[in-house]
Chain A
Amino acid sequence: MSQSCRLPHGGRVQRSAPVRFFFNDKPYDGLAGDTLASALIANGVHFVARSWKYHRPRGIVAAGVEEPNALVQLETGAYTIPNARATEIELYEGLRATSVNARPDIEHDRMAVARYFSRFIAAGFYYKTFMWPRAWWPKYEERIRDAAGLGTVPDTLDPDRYEKTHAHCDVLIVGAGPAGLAAAVAAGRTGARVILVDNQPEPGGSLLWSTDTLGGEPAGQWIRRVTDELATMPEVCVLPRTTAFGYQDHNLVTACERLTDHLPLQQRAGVRERLWKIRARRVVLATGAHERPLVFGNNDLPGVMLASAVCTYINHYGALPGRQAVVFTNNDSGYQAALDLKRNGAQVVVVDPRTRSGSGLSMRAEQAGIRIIQQAVIEHAVGGTRVSGVRLQGHGARLPAGTESLSCDLLVMAGGWNPVIHLYAQSGGKPRWCDQRACFVPDVQVQPQISVGAANGDFSLAQALSGGVRAGIEASAQCDFADVSGKAPAAWATHASTESPILPIWSIGSGKAATRGPKQFIDYQNDVSVSDIHLAVREGYRSIEHVKRYTAMGFGTDQGKLGNINGMAVLAGVLGQSISETGTTTFRPNYTPVSFGTIAGRELGDMFDPIRKTYLYEWHVAHGAVFEDVGNWKRARHYPRPGEDMDAAVARECLAVRHSVGLLDYSTLGKIDVRGPDSVTFLNRIYPNLWDKLKPGRCRYGLMLDENGMILDDGVNLRLAEQHFLVSTTTGGAARVMSWMERWLQTEWPDLKVYLTSITDQYATATVAGPNARKVLQKVCQDINFDKEAFPFMGFKEGTIDGVFVRILRVSFSGELSYEVYMPANLGQHVWNLLMAAGEEFGITPYGTEAMHVLRAEKGFIIVGQDTDGSMTPLDLGMGGMVSKAKDCLGKRSLSRSDTASPHRKQLVGLLPSDPTCVLPEGGQILNAPSTAAIAAMQGHVTSSYMSPILQRSIALAVIKDGLNRMEQEVTIPLPDGRFAQARICSPVFYDPEGARQNVD
């Protein structure tokens, strides 16, 4: 298809580089350098979308990030992007895009009928209906949901990669238009570290196609010279295609750099987008301004376009948006569009509500023979899928004869300018309304930043340049980079032009015109019109936030960049108050949408959270281990042999420990080295039990409480020397306990001379458990006497295994004769192999955490976090005796509070199911008797439950209200299938209650 609206000359498109693309499945040609929007306009395509609610035909309104209408599903399959803005998409060979909100397509949109019902579906209509019959709401909702939403989520995995960069600089400049470039040069010349980010492919902003001269130099040449100079400065970094989307606390600016989306799919490689987290000492915001639409009837027709967009399409892209144009402007900027249109052969009529002013641009328009209808406004536009004409009305004067109606194929709007104050407002600043310029401008600075140029309401080129230079110098000076004399750029002289003031017009006609006449749109994307604001106010929604939320104004993907200020002004008018009193809604990140993938970065999959592996991980893998996640650790849960399920494997592992010997990788336990003259005092304060009398060479179990008296962690602690302990913690609690101890030591007890070192990773631990454990160790370790008397229970000794230093504890979590062998982690594998070899004659069996759990449950040993849950005290566990009466410790006082001291709390007990084959569900609730009532009194719950291979029956641990007083009583546990299991309350020690087994010879 020919580019019927492509101008023969001009623009920054590459005429020698045609690009084939597809829009709504039709092939078109564009040029390299086009955006999708400019290429469509070059092909005469304006009707590109259907609106969200009324499904009205919509066209391209803007030329940048503020575009509300032209949203497309870009590409299909893995590379698809929902809701991409045609005005931001750089054209590439083979691009495919489809309009998002129409089925089957925008021409035949089935929902287009919605516009005829618009009066019944005004703002908030859904709050007033769909309530009867109540049961139908899910059906209504399904339809609503189906109709809503815009683009489609990809159905395949994202093939692209994303990464993140942390950057620090002295001066961050956002925006590389004239103000930003001037600031960058000024700051760069001081030697400050400067980062300049700009969301366009090349720096220059509107100067790229300006006919202005700067210091006598044509704009294009000036840009080249300045950017060349920036490129030679080693401390200056220029990031094109990079959008600063968030201004966070403490001068952190988050920006997204797009690296590959402008390339044809097959040429894309490497990182797609990079998230920059830029911490700047000073920020210069040179983010420009967005032009405001004018609000009149049917101002949403395709072919209705912003004046600045018209200039951009003509001058930057060499595309002519229309041949018969009406320009509706309330300030001088519309005249530039009129001149550009006229110069390129279009017929132009200007409609201006102001009286004739004789200002620079308007005079040039007159001189160019453009017809100007003063003191007139557009009442409404007419047209179907493209604007075909306008109806005018006088504004303080009668219309000249014959001008009530004009026909056109392009309606240009110039309603004034909104400085892009988003980042300023995100930095905490409160914008101030400026009546003279009819816009919100930055006011008091909250974080160290400054706005310059159009972003500051300084719209002329001269102001942009001088403001930019000044800001660049000042920001650098604040970072102690002095302006070395003579290096600061002089203010570049520009052509001065007189301008006559804007005449703000926020909507056309009375409230009746708004509610009864053609819709006057405020927010195109969300179909919010002036009548919706009238309605909201009528119904009592008077705060700007209420109006926003009731009408959905500004909720779109453009976040109201075009419409919000108009909406606020209309609201102010309806309420009869000033815009200043009405205020703005809150500007929040993101300035423009950012891919979730970019924010997620690389920390996905295995890098989502660190994976901790013990020294034996590969050995476990090689021996068929199944792993479980415990904290960050991967722990071997069991080692199934061929044909074994988990139950069989666990039973085999358990019985091996009970009958001969097993070997457990216990390295994940937390280990903290505690030393210093006050170690005993410290442990006495941390733990409820006493540590004074523990002799070096001996171990003792300790429970740790929080200040609320609840169990925080537990472990076996060793006294290595008079002033030296080794504290052990649970696997998941290691870091928490270390931090807990450090905190008390530093903040509350700095007088204690105690030093803590985490040594979890320095030592590997292997537990050798079972009646043959001693024999295995005796084979490999000759320098320790393992005799019963010489090495008693709860003692530990140091020695060597094959020359490797080992510390061996005689402790037992299984009830069997058991030793824990601590060795340097990097030699752990070697010692483990020696233990396996030595145990071979006894059938030594590696066992995992599941068997460990069964073995300890048979003995009634708790696991903190499984049998306790943050609401259990030592008293609840029947361990009240551990709480020393002789001293205070953390949490002790809480134990005597009335509720905590109650003897009727939930207490740890054992449960023996009546049916010994029935393994009670863990987490099963406990009733006094079977109940099918909706609500029944629960007595507690099952915390641990297993089939005990040695007892050949099921056992369980539970916490039950008043449990210690209810021994031998029957309770009921409802099963998931609706049946009920019976069980008898008993001691939690099921096996070897005398403790004889750890004492074997």
Chain B
Amino acid sequence: MDLSRYAALFLTESREQRGACGQALLEWERQPAAVEPVVSLYRAMHTFKGMAAAMGYSNLTELAHRSESVLDLLRSDPGAGEPLIDLFFRVVDALEQGASQAVEGGDAALSFTALLAELDEASVDTAPTGSWAIPAPAPAPAIEPVEGREVRVEIRPDAMMRGARALIALRKAEGLGTVSGVVPPPAAFERDEFDGKFRFTLATRAPDEAISEAIRAAGDVQAVAGSTP
């Protein structure tokens, strides 16, 4: 993809996000305990990160990503971040200047070592509060199959977000019959240490080939194996 044609758009949008960040920071200064400025800053940082990553600017992406992580931690206690407001002002300035420099000559020469160190220190000092995720609905009670076969699935080791891919594969299996006894349980899929291998019992009349085909349609499936009841 020719990224140069997106450079002007990247700069325009970066300035817009810079404006959103500045406004959020001023608001945060006025109301240190309010959550909305932190959320706005987080969103703007997230948007900038996505654009910088799309342009291949890894140093800018890293700075935005680390800032976003600290802001994530601060959501439940914005007041605790008051001493960091000045740091975020400097981060936003650095991102804005860095964006212009990256468009002119690439991002490789940019170095944000000092700011990254300060952000690291800030994240250690800030208590973790969980993620932005809305709690997932409680899983439906498992239905015991009358007769089922075990299906083992392996997601490709190099696939992005193996857990999310595994969940799609599970959805495909559910399209064929009743799924039960998922190991590890789907709640484990979203953990980073999930290795992409899982098994479950599938009660269905579909032949092995149809099961394999349906699950492989999830994408990034390395192997499907099963045992006929």
- A and B are interacting partners: no
Residues of B within 8 A of A (CB): none
Residues of A within 8 A of B (CB): none
